[in-house]
Structure 1
Amino acid sequence: MKLSARDLTRLIAKPDPALAGVLIYGQDAMRVSLKRQELVAAIVGPQGESEMRLERLAAGDLRRDAAQVLDAVKAQGFFPGARVLLLEGATDQSTDAIKSALGDWQKGDAQIVATAGALKASSKLRKLFEGATAAGAVAIYDDPPTREEIEADLTRAGLTRIAPEAMRDLTALARVLDPGDFRQTLEKIALYKHGDSAPLSPQEVADLAPASVEAGVDDLLHAVAEGESAQIGPLMVRLHAQGVAAVTLAIMAMRHFRALHAMNCDPGGPSAGIQRMKPPIFGPRRDRLLKQAQGWGLVRLEAALATLTDADLTLRSSSNAPSMAVMERALIRLAMMARR
């Protein structure tokens, strides 16, 4: 049978002992591996004594002895409980060996969990699992995780007390991080919150999320957009000492003010516009950018973009003007516009 990602999530939450096998396949090996780990752990339990009920086979070994799959499925273990035969790197050449095992499978035999890379609709291996009544195949795509998957990850990490705003930020974070990085972030948050009964806050999510390499520049851009002209000089001195070029500042300032402009151009206003931003904006930064967009308005943002375009053209021209001075003057002009 053909399984969806949601079906797999439910199967992980409550394994079906009547299911002979599951094929998990997809282009992203990391995503496939994570789902395989979850399913195996759900059936036999976490690592430890459950390893005694887990048999591993490499698909390449089946070329020499195809009967290994059936033997492993029928083998009787010394430890009670459900057993799993993990078959990694399966290909169409593994189809016959797996077909024989699925055909002879009976309740109480080891359940087959097979993984594979991207498989076409014409794949023999994929057709085998999709056509079986007691087995299933599920494709893992690079789509953002569903709310159900995010909640399962949070439960697994032991995070149950979460403020609604923090949940919104975690959902946005899950959409921009790789699954492995997102889980590591949740583990870090869970370790930080261990013994703390207070709900997880948006500020804690922002503080514990992976740091951005643009954080120093963000400080400068926020100062400009909020009219804090006195902070521009010291921040630019620090960024220049770190090796940040004037052209880089121009590009990032243009990106920042274009984002504010896009928010204001939304028919529903900045509040609706910020929800459409890609990648999503979350945490205190979201509230800060929304306030900036509302404060500037569409007309002044268009003037700000014109000022930045002039500065960028000057930097890229043959002018002998000091590049950092040109950029600093432009940013101070923008800060003065914000205070009007």
Structure 2
Amino acid sequence: MFLRAMTAVAAFGLGAVAAQAETDVQLALDWKFEGPAAPYFAAIDNGHFAANGLSVEVLAGQGSLDAIPKVATGAYPFGFADINSLIKFKDQNPDAPVIMVMMSYDKPPFAVIGRASLGVSEPQDLEGKVLGAPPPDGAWAQFAPFATANGLDMETIKVEPVGFPTREPMLAEGKVDAVTGYNFSSFLNLARLGVPEDDITTILMADHGLSLYGNGIIVNTDFAEDNPELVKGFLAAVAAGWKDAIADPAAGAAMVIERNPAGDAELETRRLQMVIDANVLTPWVAEHGMGNIDPGRFAASLEQIAETYEFQGTPDPALYFTDAYLPEGGFALD
């Protein structure tokens, strides 16, 4: 169904990419150029892509749902997207040629951000409180399985729909007791609004019962089948870029600011460091390497997704993720 609808676009876009696949490829990000984009620019500036015979253009995005169809149609060979969004997309478009080939955020950024002074430090503290949640928010979409995992009584939590621009200001003003958001964004937004950092509490859902994974590299499967070594080289270069960003976050943030002069170098350095500490360099990654996933945890994540999403087909992990282009044991980041 999906492929029939996009035949003309796919034929043109994928053909154009394949013709240049030996050297020139594009990566569609999920968001604008901020700290977490540093590894890709490090891979460019430090020669990792070039060492793998690649010239890579990185393009900003407007969310994970923006990157997925770009890759699925063949307009871009590579993208960076949330695997939970990919799972739903593939369920609705089973013929779409897109799959994740490298997990980057072993822990997704979905979080509840509260204030200690308002009595919110742990999941159970949310009972009897007011939670601000933008309806389209990715973190809010995962709140139901998070609540189930922590035995929260939703009848006692007042959910206040808020807009993205007003989310953190309402928490800063005490109009809500907590909000849903991304750990590396809401915290920094609150700090910039003058909320003392020791008053800000971040409840990362992955640390409290949520089995879901986060963002990673997706690829057009037709492109990957035609260019397996290129895909392997691309992933190796991205992993090398992550190693550079982990070793020197300030240098990584500077590379981002070079592409986004309106950004704040100090802010993006902090954002990058938060992503590294909370989402990327987890104990599991330290032991097993970056890029792969744990099959048991992934199966559990599909069950959690099914708590709030009705699958049209039978969930199949092989449709959403493959380790075929990863080295055995993943990529060591130390």
Give the TM-score normalised by structure 2. Answer: 0.25
Higher-helix-fraction structure: 1
Q: Which protein shows a greater Rg?
A: 1
Give the TM-score normalised by structure 1. Answer: 0.25
